[in-house]
Amino acid sequence: MAVERRDRDLPVEALPLWRIPLVRYHELIEAGIFDDDDRAELLEGLLVQMSPKGAEHDDAVAWLTRQFVLALDEAFQVRPQSALTLESSGSEPEPDLAVVAADAPRPYHPAEALLVIEVARSSLPKDRLVKARLYARAGIPEYWLVNLTDRHVELFAAPQGDAYTEHADHATGDVITPRRLGAPRIDVGALFAAAFREHPGGPGA
């Protein structure tokens, strides 16, 4: 009697995955395994591909970086597109902008930030769900998500466990200021005017 086979396709994503410990990840970096063309970040122990950066994305990051550099003194570091070492989740994300205290602990990269900003279009689900969870778990007090699709800034604050307990959307006409820093005052309309000045409607991260 023939036995019917019930095998179906098994995607590799369904198999158990090995999560890379932070210490091993740093060993790979020091050994030169990764280079500048390897666009990935470590999220909860897994290497996740980073989205391509469009013109509006880069212009928004450049404008924001300038506002924070001009407003803050040497007690803070303004770090565009640099990693954070978040030991609470085994992650090393690379936010588009982070403001850290100059004396913040550095197990490898800074382990704390007073504010983290992501600028997103195609990466919105990852930044809104996964990144927000990791930043909240690390106790980062405030997280801004610059939403290039809808042209507003999603502000997350008051982390508790894996989530932020406060969330507000800010659009053109609003001015927002980081709670822990007290400066700069960010005009949301000016931010998006800078981002879209020469590239209306183009694709981007």
List, in sequence order, every beta strand (DSSP E) within the chain.
40-43, 46-49, 76-80, 97-101, 115-120, 142-147, 152-160, 163-170, 175-176, 186-187
Q: Residue type at 147?
A: N
State the Cα–Cα distance between residues 57 and 59, nearest whole angstrom.
Answer: 6
Q: Does residue 66 belong to any structural domain of this protein?
A: yes
**For residues 137 and 161, is the Cβ–Cβ distance under 8 A?**
yes
Report the pLDDT averaged over residues 159-185.
96
Q: Does residue 73 belong to any structural domain of this protein?
A: yes
Quote the percentage of the chain above a pLDDT of 70.
92
Report the pLDDT averaged over residues 68-96.
96
Q: Give the per-residue pLDDT at 98.
A: 98
**For residues 204 and 172, is the Cβ–Cβ distance under 8 A?**
no
Q: Which of 76-80, 123-127, 145-149 bottoms out in mean pLDDT, i.e. has the lowest? A: 123-127
Q: Does residue 81 belong to any structural domain of this protein?
A: yes
- State which residues form the domain around 176: 51-196
Confidence category of residue 15, pLDDT binned at 50, 70, 90: confident
State the Cα–Cα distance between residues 119 and 56, nearest whole angstrom.
Answer: 9
Report the pLDDT averaged over residues 36-65.
92
Pairing of strands 40-43, 46-49: antiparallel
Q: Give the per-residue pLDDT at 9.
A: 77
State the Cα–Cα distance between residues 104 and 175, nearest whole angstrom.
Answer: 28
What's the total number of domains in the chain? 1
pLDDT above 60 (res 203): no
| Helix orientation angle between 55-71 and 188-196, rounded to the nearest 10 degrees | 140
Q: Does residue 13 belong to any structural domain of this protein?
A: no
CATH code assigned at 183: 3.90.1570.10
Confidence category of residue 35, pLDDT binned at 50, 70, 90: confident
Confidence category of residue 5, pLDDT binned at 50, 70, 90: low
